Amino acid sequence: MHIRSALFVLVALMILSVPAMADHRRTPVVKAVESVSPSVVNITVIKKVQGGNRSPFGDPFFDQFFKDFYGNRPKQSQSIGSGVIIDGDKALVLTNAHVVSGGSEITVRLNDGREFKAELIGSDPDFDLAVLKLKKAAKLPQVAMGDSDDIYIGETVIAIGNPFGYSHTVTTGVVSALNRPMKTNGGAFGSFIQTDAAINPGNSGGPLLNIHGKLIGINTAIHARAEGIGFAIPINKAKFVIDELLNTGHVAPIWLGIFGQDIDQSTARYFNLKSLKGMLVSEAYKDTPAAQAGIRPGDIVLGFNRRQVTNKNDYLTQLFGNTKSENVVLVILRDGKQQQVTLKPQVLNKGKALNLVRTRWGFELADRTKGGGAMVTVVVPGSPAGKLGLQKGDVIHQIGNRRLDSGVDLLNAFLRNRMQKTVLMRVQRGRGLYYVRLTL
């Protein structure tokens, strides 16, 4: 009888422990995924592209014969990315700019199967962020915002996205590093969170979460030649960008009012420097943050927000990782002594930029209503533009790697290339398109 009673108790305990064991498997990762998945979306973008020079026969002879006909036919391409709902009441989705770039039609699908058409509220390619608004949608689930300044290297993170079209794929890993600088063909994006959580094509724009299911980053890129190296835009940086995209549709171009040059051997000897790292200030414009902070020609910029400045391009890269709302702390070397100065970036307006283009490059530009680009309206004799042979009526479609599709593109193009010795431009004269180098 005692044996039967003992067996009965044992079986009862086993039965009662099943729910407890099942609940034990609901780890913090599982709970975070359950909480956030409803706010993660799949983004499908339809893009219109120019048709290729191939005939439907797949034969080189026919390709050559029909190239004029088939080459001019517009086609559609489709791309897939991820996003996350950041405001359920306003139906706002945060994603990468490159996910929706060039899209003529954007469709967003939720985890519960609902689909909405979306309009692009604002996008910035330099920060690789875009905000969408879902049409005829309200009271949607939304992600909880985290704090990307409160992250430990080695802590667990979760990525959710749609790699290769596999909807709501979950991967986990750790924070591998913080403040990773990265450059791309589209520009320099600043400091990233590095993670070993698997991030594949289609994950772009999806959320990077901490163990509590809070949004700490937006997944944006993978290293092309490595496994286990992914990058995410810190959410604290994204918050500044989101505010500007919602208010103006773009991020305002900023500068500190400094022109500078790299340090060569002769400069290093003159200033008794032990290293060639840094940027020599050649000019500080009046009525700018630099001038107001007392920065002057001959100063050497050694640091930018606790990071070393190696040369003028590095200075520009770090500057373009900031928004107008963020202070900049520079480390300046003057007379052999280092000092820190804090500056509030200044928005470079179009009028100021056009004046600087005329003063430094030697031409004036005006927007075009059709065809893109900016038209040359004045060429200053004897200026770099005058020596190049630029003429009134020429149309500039590209400066450096920046296409001129709007006024803000000109501002960014000038800011990026203002310290270069030569600037590559794509110029249209009549029906001809040419690449030319402006020597400064």
Determine the 3-state secondary structure of 426 from DSSP.
Answer: strand
Active-site residue identified among 204, 262, 299, 314: 204
Question: Is 361 in contact with 348 (CB distance < 8 Å)?
Answer: no
76: how many CB neighbours lie within 10 A of its CB?
10
* Burial class of residue 411, CB neighbours in 10 A (0-12, 13-18, 19+): buried
Q: Which of 124, 126, 128, 262 is catalytic?
A: 128
Q: Which residues contact 12 (CB under 8 A, 6 or more apart)?
A: none
Q: Which of 79, 98, 176, 314 is catalytic?
A: 98
Q: What is the rounded distance in angstroms from the CA atom of residue 272 to the CA atom of residue 334?
A: 11
Q: Which positions ≥6 away from 415 have C-beta within 8 Å?
A: 253, 254, 255, 316, 320, 348, 353
Q: Which residues is 208 bridged to in the sheet?
A: 159, 217
Give the Cα separation of 317 and 315 in Å (integer).
5
Secondary structure tally for the chain: helices H, strands E: 11, 27
Beta-bridged to residue 207, according to DSSP, are 218
Q: Where does residue 417 rank: exposed (0-12), middle (13-18), buried (19+ CB within 10 A)?
A: buried
Active site residue 128: yes
Is there a catalytic annotation at residue 168? Answer: no
DSSP string, 216-260: EEEEEEE-TT-SS-EEEEEHHHHHHHHHHHHHHSSPPPEE-SEEE
Please confirm, yes or no, whether 204 is among the known catalytic residues.
Answer: yes
Question: Is the CB of residue 343 less than 8 Å from the CB of residue 293?
Answer: yes
The CA distances from residue 344 to 212, 252, 294, 325, in Å, are 34, 14, 13, 8
Say how far apart CA 138 and CA 134 lie, in whole Å. 8
**Any residues with CB less than 8 A from the CB of 45 and at least 6 apart, and which?**
78, 79, 80, 81, 99, 100, 102, 103, 105, 106, 107
DSSP character at residue 186: T
Which are the catalytic amino acids? 98, 128, 204
